[in-house]
Chains A and B, each alone.
Chain A
Amino acid sequence: MPLITTLAGASARGYGGLVTFGGGTSYESIATVTVGSGGSSSIDFTSIPSGYQHLQIRGILRTTETGATYDGNLVRMRFNGDTGSNYTMHSVVGYGTGYFADAAANVAYMEFARTAINGNGSSMFAVAVADILDYKDTNKFKTMRTLSGTDLNGGGRVYLSSNLWRSTSAITDIKIYPSSTFSFVQYTKFGLFGIKGA
C-alpha cells in the first residue's frame, strides 16, 4: 500500500514524473505540547538542545477570549524567561477589509501570532509558523519571523511579524502565552523543531 499516490490530469497522465522519497535528517522534531481539557495559560519549551542551527515553531491555537479586542487575539512570546524591555517588533496585519502596520521598541515581549478565540465559531483554530534563526549564536541578537492567520468564513486575520531579542545569549527556553488573562484551549498544539547546519 503506497503512502501516497499522485495523479496529474488526464492530459498529463502517463507523462508526469513521480518521485517518492525515503526521508531526510536535517529537520528534527524536538518537542510537542498539546493542551488538554483543562486549558493552559502558557506553552513552555525548556532545556532546548543546542545541536541545531535554527528553530521552527509550528502549531494550531485558540484562546478563551470571547470578545474581539485588539489585544485579545494576540499571542506573545519570551525567551529564557527574560521579562525585561529587551524586545522589538514590527508587524503587518490584514483583517479582510483593510490592513495596518505596527511597531514597538523596548517592550517586554514579542508578538508571535494572531489567534482564533472562543468568541469565534466552533472548531475554528488559528495556525502559526515561526522561524528563529541562529538561536544559539552568542555573537548575535536573535531575530524571529512569524506567519499566522485565522479565517472565520466572514473575515479573519493574516499576520506577519518580525521580532528582535536584544540578547547574545543562546536561547534555551521559549514561553508562548496569550495576552491579558486568557488561556489556550484544548487541542491547541505546538511543535518545536530544529534545523541542522552543515
Chain B
Amino acid sequence: MADLERGPLLDILAGIFTRPFDEPLNDAEFNAIALRLFARQYERNAPYAAFCARRGRAPEAVSHWTRIPPVPTAAFREVALVAGNPDDAHAVFRTSGTTRGPERRGVHYIPDLSVYHASLIRNFAACMLPDGARLRMVSIVPASREMPDSSLAHMIDVVLSRLGAGQGTHCATVDGGIDAQALSATLHEAERSGVPVCLLGTSFSFVHWLDGLVERGERFRLPDGSRLMDTGGYKGRSREVEEPVLREMYRELLGIPATHCVNEYGMTEMCSQFYDSTLRDTLRGRDAARRKLVPPWVRTRVVHPETLEPLSSGETGILQHFDLANAGSVMAIQTEDLGVQVEGGFRLIGRARGVTPRGCSIAMDILLDAVRERSD
C-alpha cells in the first residue's frame, strides 16, 4: 500500500477499495487517511471549516478520527458542503422534498465520480454478488437520465452497466411508474431460461408492485440464485410493510428466499452504502444474524442522542458514519438514524425523527392550520 501519510490521496483511496472486504482498515491506517481527508476538506470547504472552528476542532487540534466533527445531514440543505468549487462537481445529487412544506432539499456535490464509483462497485459486488455471479439486473427505479438528482438511480445505473450481465433492464419510468407488463415478461423469460436475476428497487415500489401481483393472481418462481435489493422508507407512498412480512412476500410471490433478500441503507449525503449481511454470510457458509455490513473504508459509531457520546455495543443511539468515500464532500456525517452496534456491523432501528416530537407537531399543526385558513 502507498505511503498513507504522503502518497497521493486518490491513489490511496483507489487502493483501499480493492482490499479484502472482510478486513477493515486497522485503526492506524484508517486514522492516517481520515486525518488527511479531514485536513483537505477543512481547507477547501469554508462552511465546514467554520463549523469545525466553532467547536475548536481545526485539523491541528485533531489527532484521531473520532475527534473529527461530524456534520449533521440537515446541513446539506443549508450550504454547499464540497471540498472545492460546487460548479466543478461531476455530479449533483439532491434529497427528495418532504411533505412538510417548502423546506430546502439537501444537496450533495460529487467532485470526482471515480471515487464514488469505485467504492459503490466494490461494496455492491461484495454484498450482492459475493459468489461472483454476473446476473441479469432488473431495476424498478427509473434510469438516472430521468432522475438526475437521485443518487439511488445513479448507483443502480452504475451497477447495471458495470456488474450486470448484458444491458440490464429498467422496468420503470418517472411518468409511468413501474411497467408491470415489461417486468412480468422479463421475469417469465428468466423462469424459462433458468438464468437468475437480481431485482433492485425501493421498498415502497416493491410493495406497490407485489400488491398488484396479488390482485392479478400472478406469481413467479425465479431461478435459484436470484436475489433482490430493496431500500428506503415509505414516506406514505404505499402501505407500510414490516421487513419480515415483506421478505415473506418476496419468497411467496417471487420465489426468492429471505437469505437472498438484502436491504440497503444509503443516503444522498453519503457515497458509501450499507447492505444486509445475509447473502454474503449465506454464500460463504456463515450463520449469523442479519445486520448491516460496514465496508472496510467506513467507520460507524453509535452515539447517545443527547450527548453524542459513544455508546456501548447493544445500546440504541444515533448513527455517525466516517466514510472515506466521501472524499470530495464531508467524510464525517451525523445522521438522524437510530441504530445499535452488533458483532460485525450494526442494526438499523429507524429514523430518530420517525415520531414527530410533540412540541414540534403542535407548532407545525398550528402553522399549517393558519396557512390553510388563509388559502381557503
A, B bound: no
- Residues of B that sit less than 8 Å from A by CB: none
- Residues of A that sit less than 8 Å from B by CB: none
